Structure 1
Amino acid sequence: MFFLLFGLRTRDEPLDTRILTCEICGWTAPQARFARTTRFTLFFVPLFPVQPRKHLLRCGHCMALRTVERSPSYA
């Protein structure tokens, strides 16, 4: 029997939400900002990040994702 003892895990951490105009659909809708981290896991325990932390915006209308700067003022 073969067990996979290592792998990758991606987690999204919600940061905040603001009302902005989406660059993709053009609607003024809530834009949720979150941080995405991918970590190497061993025996289902996350050990260290394998990619730099990304900050993303998700449109509340079209659900499109786009990357943003890490600064808190992304208006």
Structure 2
Amino acid sequence: MFFIFGLRTKVDQSGVVQQVCRHCGNQAAQVITRRSTKFTLFFVPLIPVRTRYVQQCTFCGAQYQIDKADARRLAVG
């Protein structure tokens, strides 16, 4: 008997905000995304392994990991 298992990451865009980038210092749109990784068995996602929130500058492309509270605050307004 064999099992097919692995990890699958799903990326969802939570929102876009105008802020000054920490890397380049330009006022630009910052995209807030949620990346959730789940353990899969026979290509069916079962158990969440990790969830990360990332802020990415649209001007320079720099990415920063942010916590869940900041992601919710920025995505709402």
TM-score, with normalisation over the residues of structure 1? 0.83
CA distance, structure 2, for counterparts of residue 34 and residue 27 of structure 1: 20
- Residue 42 of structure 1 pairs with residue 48 of structure 2: no
CA distance, structure 2, for counterparts of residue 5 and residue 55 of structure 1: 28
Q: Which runs of 5+ in 2 are unaligned?
A: none
Question: Would you say how many aligned residue pairs link Structure 1 and Structure 2?
Answer: 72
Q: Which residue of 2 aligns with 1:73?
A: 73
The structure richer in helix per residue is 2
Q: Which runs of 5+ in 1 are unaligned?
A: none
- Deviation of 1:69 after TM superposition, in Å, equals 2.4
Q: Which residue of 1 aligns with 2:12?
A: 13
- Deviation of 1:45 after TM superposition, in Å, equals 0.9
